[in-house]
A and B are shown apart, each in its own frame.
Chain A
Amino acid sequence: MVKRPEHREIDATAGRDAQVDATRAWVKRTFYGETIIEIWDLDFFYGRNRVLHDVSLGIPKDGVTAIMGPSGCGKSTLLRTLNRMYEVVPGARATGEVIFEGENLLKSDPVILRHKIGMVFQRPNPFPKSIFDNVAYGPRIHGLRNRRKLADLVEDALHRAALWDEVKDRLKDSAFSLSGGQQQRLCIARALAVRPRILLMDEPCSALDPKASDRIEHTARELAEELTVIIVTHNLQQAGRVSDNVAVLLADGELAEFGPTRSIFESPQDERVADYLCGRFG
Chain B
Amino acid sequence: MSVSMDELGPGLKIRMKNRNIDCYVFFTLALISLVALGVILYFIFAQAIPFVGKLKVVPEGMGAIVKWGQDYSHTRLWDLFSTRWSPASYKHQFFGMVPMIVATTVITLGAMALAIPFGLSAAVFVGEVGPRWLKDIFKTVLELLAAVPSIVYGFFGLIIIAPWVRESFDVVSGSNGLSAALILSIMALPTIASLAEDALHAVPNTYREASLALGATKWQTIWRTLIPAASSGVIGAGILGMGRAVGETMAVLLVAGNSAFLTWNIFRSMRPLTAGIALDMAESVHGSAHYHALFALGAMLLLIALVMNWTAEWFHVRLLRRQGIREG
Contact = CB atoms under 8 A, between A and B. Distances in A.
B224 to A, nearest CB: 7
Contacts of A141: 211, 214-217, 220, 224
A88 B212 contact: yes
B213 A85 contact: yes
Contact of B208 (A88, A118, A187): A88
Count chain B CB atoms within 10 A of each CB in A83, A125, A187 and give the residue with the most: A125
Nearest to B218: A111
Say which size band chain A's interface belongs to.
Answer: 20 to 34
B207 interface: yes
- Chain B interface mostly: helix
B210 interface: yes
B320 to A, nearest CB: 9
A85 B206 contact: no
B114 to A, nearest CB: 29
A121 B211 CA distance: 12
B143 interface: no
A275 interface: no
A128 B325 contact: yes
A222 B135 CA distance: 47
Interface string B52-91: 0000000000000000000000000000000000000000
B324 A138 contact: no
Interface string A97-128: 00000000000000111110011010101111
Contacts of B205: 88
Contacts of A121: 206, 209-210, 213
B214 A138 contact: yes
Contacts of B208: 88
A31 interface: no
Given A123-B206, A125-B206, A141-B220, A85 B324 contact: no
A130 B212 CA distance: 19
Given A125-B207, A141-B224, A114 B214 contact: yes
Contacts of A45: none
A16 to B, nearest CB: 30
A111 B210 contact: no
A173 B324 contact: yes
30 contacts: A85-B213, A88-B208, A111-B215, A111-B216, A111-B217, A112-B215, A114-B213, A114-B214, A114-B215, A121-B209, A127-B211, A127-B229, A128-B207, A128-B229, A128-B323, A128-B325, A129-B323, A130-B322, A130-B324, A137-B211, A137-B214, A137-B224, A140-B224, A141-B215, A141-B224, A142-B215, A174-B324, A176-B325, A190-B214, A194-B215
Interface of B: 132, 204-217, 220, 224-225, 228-229, 322-325
